Amino acid sequence: MKALIPAAGRGTRFLPVTRVVPKEMLPVGSKPAIQLIVEEAVAAGADEVVIVISPEKEIIKRYFDGDAELSARVRWACQAEQRGLGHAVLQAAEAFAGESEPVLVLLGDALVSGEAPSAAMAAISRAHGNASVVGLERVPRERISRYGIVAGVPEDDRTLKLTDLVEKPSPEEAPSDLAIAGRYLLHPDVFALLASQPPGHGGEIQLTDAIRRLLSTRPVFGFRYPGRRHDIGNPGGYLETLQAFA
């Protein structure tokens, strides 16, 4: 399995430290946060990890280039302009050319404490003939508009077959309270869809919109994973992460 970590975001919610230290390099114990994410990918079976950075975030590359102890090959892609998460993922497309297996996408600012979601999602994907799987969490009504929200038909308590995805809807428009939560296993068709994806919410190219189009040709499942997601992209989320990992 191959993994992709978008880590090119500017980190505006965590200024001023992110002027020089990318949020993904903030320490959780003695390791930068992004190393824990790479380790989650490797534990789930990834033997190659492509990290998307911006030109200002070369320090992430310097960190991994100096570490020979990871049991995965790390490759690099660059997002020079901030045009959305879908655009960031698209910058890594070349590394997945000719792939037929789903790609594990882990957002570089989302750490999960407790049971790691990636391995469980890989198992669900295999059980459904290598289908795509999106990691989910329930969110309170007042936070719905910060997330991609899904609709689907329940398979069991934690799994559903998706029928729709909407990026950052208002609570009135939202099809449920199940939010996309930083982990995806996506059929590589998603790259071609992203290449033709017009800008969506906020004028940005949204990964959620491309997955919505993927639904018309490929099954996509949702998995409400048991671990707890922490957003290291803001000071409060980061402190919460440190407590959870302490």
**Could you say which of 104, 111, 181, 211 contacts ligand G1P (CB under 6 A)?**
181
Q: How far is the CB of 44 from ligand G1P (least distance, A)?
A: 17
Nearer to ligand G1P, 181 or 186 (CB): 181
Q: How far is the CB of 75 from ligand G1P (least distance, A)?
A: 22
The answer to whether the bond into 16 is cis (omega within 30° of 0) is yes
Q: How far is the CB of 156 from ligand G1P (least distance, A)?
A: 22
Nearer to ligand G1P, 7 or 181 (CB): 181
Positions 135 through 174 that interact with ligand G1P (CB under 6 A): 147-148, 167
**Could you say which of 18, 79, 132, 208 contacts ligand G1P (CB under 6 A)?**
208
Stretch of residues binding ligand G1P (CB under 6 A), selected from 48-56, 177-185, 212-220, 238-246? 177-185
**Could you say which of 4, 34, 74, 85 contacts ligand G1P (CB under 6 A)?**
85
Nearer to ligand G1P, 50 or 107 (CB): 107
Position 30, amino acid: S
Q: Does 232 bind ligand G1P (CB under 6 A)?
A: no
Nearer to ligand G1P, 169 or 188 (CB): 169
Tokens of 63: 């960190």
**Could you say which of 52, 92, 107, 178 contacts ligand G1P (CB under 6 A)?**
107
**Interface residues with ligand G1P (CB under 6 A)?**
85, 107, 110, 147-148, 167, 179-182, 206-208
